[in-house]
Structure 1
Amino acid sequence: MALINIIYLTVLACLLKDVNSQRTPTISHITQEQIRDIGGQVDLDCSVHYSSEYPVIWVKYDRLKTTESIPLSSNAALIIRDSRFSLRYDDATATYTLSIKDIQENDAGWYQCQVLISITNKITAEVELQVRRPPIISDNSTRSIVASEGESAQMECYSDGFPPPKITWRRENNAILPTGGSIYRGNVIKIPSVHKEDRGTYYCVAENGVGKGARRNINLEVEFAPVITVPRPRLGQALQYDMDLECHVEAYPPPAITWLKDEIQLSNNQHYRISHFATADEFTDTTLRVITIEKRQYGIFTCKAQNKLGTVEGKVHLFETIIPVCPPACGQARYGGAVSIAPSAATILAAFGIHAARVFTRIFHTKH
């Protein structure tokens, strides 16, 4: 950039060396603000009176950095070597036309027409070229966020482009936003008090009518204490048969899950089989299979879930029945409804036989 400025000043000095005093030039016309698409073409006109003895140049410059300017032409000749740029001069109207074809994004900016009176004096007029650009989501936008239930949360989305893009927010499957409704407009969406129902994917969409727009998926994770649902709090099964006890756990972060009987933690062995199945980051189904039930195994079982935000327990009462419940007594892997089903007629007769024998025994002991 320093080299360009040196060349610019050198050219300026040479052009001014032989200039004689005459009537002061004026710029009578400058093209108004121009807006173009990438790949388009633009003509920038500058009409100057009384300038035949003075250098007229086009300069591209940065308004924020006025010391950084790039000379593009001098009178009717280009200085810059770029096949996309050309210069025309109309002697009848004293108009210098700077043409740019195949416009690129970095062509946007301010173009100044200058008439150099002396090394310290010049008259100028300027025109802004704005280039339409499709939206791009800025790097300073939120990518993901984790918040604890009850806390406030804020997601931000910013976009570059021209015209300035407008930002809208949506949720996955057009779910209702915490702000109400399915659409929110603005760069920042605030949630004063986060609930676990607010978790999920949020879409930040930037649109300005150029291209297809831009979108960023922002994932909101909500940390919350475990919640346990017991689908069947009371279950009956006959001696020497298996039974599945179930708890559904909802929590984030994923909790530690344990099963207890009489305040003693259970583990996998010949009497119990514990399994956990995560259906999502926040949902876990846990099953305790009581194998070949013995008398001492009837009673209250506890499923316990714990994460950093809290601990919760669910209770399942396993009691004795005469008729086996199928499944799992019939050997199926999945427990269906809570309906007791006899696996076969022979099993029913055997169960009634056992029951009749117990009744007869009680009567016999009572009489004696």
Structure 2
Amino acid sequence: MEMYKKLFWAVLQGFVLLPTIATRDSHVTNRKLVDVPQFERPIGNHTFHIGREAVLGCSVINLGKHKVGWLRAEDQTVLSLHERVVLGPRYSVSLDTPSTWQLRIRPLKAEDRGCYMCQINTQPSMKWQIGCIDVYVPPDIINEETSADVSAHEMDNITLICKATGHPPPKITWKREDHELMLLKKVGARDFYKVESYVGSSLPLWRVDRRQMGAFLCIASNDVPPAVSKRITLNVNFPPTVIVPNQLLGAPLGTDVVLECTVEAYPNTINYWLKNRGEMLLDGPKYIIYEERSSYKVVMKLTICQFVKSDIGTYNCVSTNSLGKGEGTLRLYEIKLYPSLQSAAEVNVGGLTEGAVKQKTAHSDSNKNNARTITVLFIINVIFVLN
């Protein structure tokens, strides 16, 4: 019985002392935690522009006699040990505050993109945390993979290509250099539709038309200035087409007469004038030859000075290039001026004078009036007979 009493008091004493022991162990544990180095906050992920300085901060409390090191996380390359830089002059380490170790990289390169580890040499295992850098790179056009100036025959199918590097990946936008609307056509369609711009690294031109000829700008942008562009010229080859606004021209003697043709062609044409399909006209005192060029259009002008009867005849504007030949025909005649009793000129047009036209019209009007008079008399006679 005495033995059971001793055992009871021993167990009771243990329960009484247990809170005291637990409190003492808790203080020891807390003290150990306070003495161990800890990261104060995450490094975080950051974005920087190429060529500038990147800064990553690693905040440590209770560092004590421990050391801080920076490593590249991908390949575990040591960049710094405490305040000593190990790898290259572009890297530096500074203590911004009593607890923040800053890794600086300057100038920043595209290959610096990635994650970096801040490490504390605690034992038995090291403590570490990771922060990442994203490096923004402005766009740059890859000339080797981008179209140069292009020449194609009308109705050919072609595609303009534009490739660019950059981070984030750049957007490619196409525009006309002259700020005109772009003419595009869907595959299999007959009609064009107009747009201010087209987005995509490839610009398809199906059954290309002369109206699409010109300079295009391939613009690469990714919100990292500056945007860049390349000029690509599209030439559409086709034989000459000659348009004559006025095929029949008349002029009084003694005046200067201007004959005009419009030529559409590419490549550039050789243009000249013929009279009566034989004589080639040359620039000089009698004839003034002038051309106005704009893109694939040429306006040919021939001025005949002091028009005389020998100038009456047929004139041809002829245009030729490596793909073919075209011509237009103009006929020049004399407009005769006559004095009139009404002091108005009578103009000879196609063999019928204006005066003759007026006389014919007056004669027609007189016949109509006579017909009306006869009709009225006939009606009166009928009424008289009936009465």
Please report the TM-score for the alignment, with normalisation by the length of structure 2.
Answer: 0.59
Do the aligned partners of 2:92 and 2:103 also contact (CA within 8 Å) in 1?
Answer: yes
Q: Deviations over 1:107-155 (max 9, x none)?
A: 523467699xxxxxxxx99876321122222223234322221112221
SS in 1 for 2:294: coil
d(CA) in 2 for partners of 1:83, 1:295 = 89
Verify: 1:153 aligned to 2:153, yes or no. Answer: no
> In structure 1, which of residues 85, 94, 103 is the aligned counterpart of residue 92 of structure 2?
85
Verify: 1:173 aligned to 2:187, yes or no. Answer: no
d(CA) in 2 for partners of 1:162, 1:41 = 16
SS in 2 for 1:266: strand
> In structure 2, which of residues 43, 49, 64 is the aligned counterpart of residue 37 of structure 1?
49
d(CA) in 1 for partners of 2:229, 2:283 = 52
Do the aligned partners of 1:240 and 1:292 also contact (CA within 8 Å) in 2?
Answer: yes
* Structure 2 gaps, min length 5: 1-41, 120-127, 186-192, 349-387
Structure 2 counterpart of 1:249: 263
Evaluate the alpha carbon distance shift between residue 186 and residue 198 of structure 1 in structure 2; reply closer, same or farther with a 3 A threshold: same
Alpha-carbon offset, residue 31 of structure 1: 6.4
d(CA) in 1 for partners of 2:322, 2:330 = 25
Evaluate the alpha carbon distance shift between residue 169 and residue 269 of structure 1 in structure 2; reply closer, same or farther with a 3 A threshold: closer
Structure 2 counterpart of 1:72: 79
Evaluate the alpha carbon distance shift between residue 85 and residue 316 of structure 1 in structure 2; reply closer, same or farther with a 3 A threshold: same
Structure 2 counterpart of 1:199: 213
Structure 2 counterpart of 1:356: none
Structure 2 counterpart of 1:288: 302
Structure 1 counterpart of 2:227: 213
Structure 2 counterpart of 1:331: none
d(CA) in 2 for partners of 1:111, 1:202 = 41
Do the aligned partners of 2:141 and 2:164 also contact (CA within 8 Å) in 1?
Answer: yes
Alpha-carbon offset, residue 310 of structure 1: 2.0
Q: Deviations over 1:296-334 (max 9, x none)?
A: 43222111111122211111001122139xxxxxxxxxx
> Which AA in structure 1 matches 2:56?
D
Verify: 1:312 aligned to 2:326, yes or no. Answer: yes
> In structure 1, which of residues 113, 135, 156 is the aligned counterpart of residue 139 of structure 2?
135
Do the aligned partners of 1:60 and 1:71 also contact (CA within 8 Å) in 2?
Answer: no
Map 1:235-274 → 2, pairs under 5 A? 235-239=249-253, 241-268=255-282, 272-274=286-288
* Structure 1 gaps, min length 5: 1-29, 116-123, 325-341, 352-368
Q: Which has the larger radius of gyration?
A: 2
Evaluate the alpha carbon distance shift between residue 71 and residue 323 of structure 1 in structure 2; reply closer, same or farther with a 3 A threshold: farther
> Which AA in structure 2 matches 1:136?
D
Do the aligned partners of 2:79 and 2:91 also contact (CA within 8 Å) in 1?
Answer: no
Structure 2 counterpart of 1:15: none
d(CA) in 2 for partners of 1:58, 1:270 = 85
Please report the TM-score for the alignment, with normalisation by the length of structure 1.
Answer: 0.62
Alpha-carbon offset, residue 211 of structure 1: 2.1
Verify: 1:58 aligned to 2:71, yes or no. Answer: yes
Evaluate the alpha carbon distance shift between residue 86 and residue 269 of structure 1 in structure 2; reply closer, same or farther with a 3 A threshold: closer
Evaluate the alpha carbon distance shift between residue 220 and residue 213 of structure 1 in structure 2; reply closer, same or farther with a 3 A threshold: same
Aligned length: 281
Q: Deviations over 1:73-122 (max 9, x none)?
A: 3576312342652177xxx9xxx96612555234523467699xxxxxxx
Alpha-carbon offset, residue 40 of structure 1: 4.3
Would you tell me which structure has more helix in proportion to its own residues?
2
Structure 1 counterpart of 2:382: none
Do the aligned partners of 2:220 and 2:228 also contact (CA within 8 Å) in 1?
Answer: yes
Structure 1 counterpart of 2:203: 189
Structure 1 counterpart of 2:112: 108
Do the aligned partners of 1:60 and 1:109 also contact (CA within 8 Å) in 2?
Answer: no
> Which AA in structure 2 matches 1:80?
L
Evaluate the alpha carbon distance shift between residue 291 and residue 108 of structure 1 in structure 2; reply closer, same or farther with a 3 A threshold: same
Alpha-carbon offset, residue 186 of structure 1: 0.9
Alpha-carbon offset, residue 293 of structure 1: 4.1
d(CA) in 2 for partners of 1:126, 1:152 = 53
d(CA) in 1 for partners of 2:110, 2:211 = 45
Evaluate the alpha carbon distance shift between residue 193 and residue 241 of structure 1 in structure 2; reply closer, same or farther with a 3 A threshold: same
